[in-house]
Amino acid sequence: MLSTQIATAAHVTLASTLATSTQGPARTLLHAPALPVLKSDAAANQRASQHVAETLKLLIEKLAPQRRVVHAGDLVYQGGESFGHLYVMTSGFFKLVNLSADGREQVVGLKFRGDWLGFDGIANGRYACDAVAMDTGEVLVIRYDALFAACAAQPALMTALHEAMSREIARDRDSLMSVCTLPADARVADFLRYWAESLARRGLRSDQITLRMTRAEIGNYLGMTLETVSRSLSKLARAGVIVFAEKGRRDVQIPDVDALSEFIQHCLAPASPVLQ
């Protein structure tokens, strides 16, 4: 859990620092890591979706947790609140928001079906962030002491808990790498790819997504200005990688998720025509 907290804190610091540095043209990266362009694996997505369903079934059968329905803007828990429960999402989309000492809000995490909320409260006995619903959804409310006791008798529960913690650490690392190493356009493309792939791994439609965040919130999460996010989205649209709905511009069609990976590679390539 210390690794998760360190990664989250680093994400917040770097995002705030980079918010002003990305207002101009994308930075030239001398040692940017090459991102693999992997073709979508329908079988892997199906296995991941099945695993999410099995984990939710296990938690419901072994712990009989309370179900809580939330709506857009509802708080699942608030930073500073005493820790006592973990929450597992069965539907909906959620964001984690950290409040800095000077009052600034920073989006530090995005959560989808099957993800857990509340790990940030274990170490110090208080939640460190606000967990906010971005649309109508449902969470399983699990008492931490009951889960901890049940894990001793049910190794499958312990495995599910460890897997959830590991995924959160890995996602924090990937998010930090994106903020640190990718230029603006590639960062937005990577954000869309993550959103689409997260939906696909949960058995949900990924060729057309509804962004549950404003441009300002996306910029806040990625360490960019609203204007830079808008320019990057427009560039993706001109390149044919994404297509906007006629109105609203929150509904985004992604004809080929792999094209987002290729776009990122072009952004990192020297003298890339995508950046001209």
Q: Which residues of 52-61 are buried (b: 16+ CB within 10 A; e: fewer)?
A: beebbeebee
Cα(16)–Cα(1) distance, integer angstroms: 23
Q: Tell how far CA 147 is from the center of its chain.
A: 25
pLDDT of residue 24: 37
Q: Note the pTM of the prediction, 2 decimals.
A: 0.80
Indicate the pairing of strand 75-77 with strand 130-133. antiparallel
pLDDT of residue 211: 86
pLDDT of residue 128: 94
From the first residue on, what is the mean pLDDT of each consecutive set of 10 residues in the chain (276 residues)?
A: 41 39 35 40 89 95 96 96 97 92 87 96 95 96 96 94 95 88 94 93 88 91 94 94 78 92 88 50
Instruction: Give the start-end residues of each E strand in the chain.
Output: 66-70, 75-77, 85-91, 94-99, 105-111, 116-117, 130-133, 137-143, 208-210, 243-244, 251-253
pLDDT of residue 176: 87
Q: Tell how far CA 253 is from the center of its chain.
A: 19
Are residues 196 and 209 in contact, defined by beta-carbon separation less than 8 angstroms?
yes
